Homo-oligomer: A and B are copies of this chain.
Amino acid sequence: METTARTDSPADPAAALECQSAHGYIKDKNSYLGRLKDVEGQARGIHKLVEDETYCIDILGQISAVTKALERVALGLLDDHLKHCVIQAAHLGGEAADSKIKQATDAVARFIRS
């Protein structure tokens, strides 16, 4: 049972919980990479705003924008995860599916303030 993502750790029990084939987001990999490059640029921009002693409210606006961009990336990854890894796991059934779903809802919980 080979996993795509962590071939360096074949004995890792967590690896059994990963996707059986390429991760769902791989088909959009370039789009995700581009969006994350933008996020890096935005983070650098916020650093510069503080360096230049910009008005605090303007900085808050930029921080809000970059966290929203990150949240949209996260929602995209979640959607891809459900469409690929969870659906695959559903066909394996039993604990494999339950583990993947627990991972997904735990991941969502970390994004929702609760």
Binding site for B on A (CB under 8 A): 3-6, 18-19, 22-26, 29, 32-33, 36-37, 39-40, 43-44, 46-47, 50-57, 59-61, 63-64, 66-68, 70-75, 77-83, 85-87, 90-91, 97-98, 101-105, 107-114
A55 and B6 in contact (CB under 8 A), knowing A64-B107, A72-B114, A90-B90? yes
Structural contact, A55 and B108, CB atoms closer than 8 A: no
Structural contact, B24 and A56, CB atoms closer than 8 A: yes
CB-defined contacts of A37 to chain B, threshold 8 Å: 47
What is the predominant secondary structure among interface residues of chain A facing chain B? Answer: helix
Q: Among the listed B53, B80, B103, B108, which residue makes an inter-chain contact with A108, where contact means beta carbons less than 8 Å apart? A: B108
Structural contact, B50 and A108, CB atoms closer than 8 A: no
CB-defined contacts of A46 to chain B, threshold 8 Å: 36, 39
Structural contact, A75 and B112, CB atoms closer than 8 A: yes
CB-defined contacts of A24 to chain B, threshold 8 Å: 56
CB-defined contacts of A68 to chain B, threshold 8 Å: 113-114
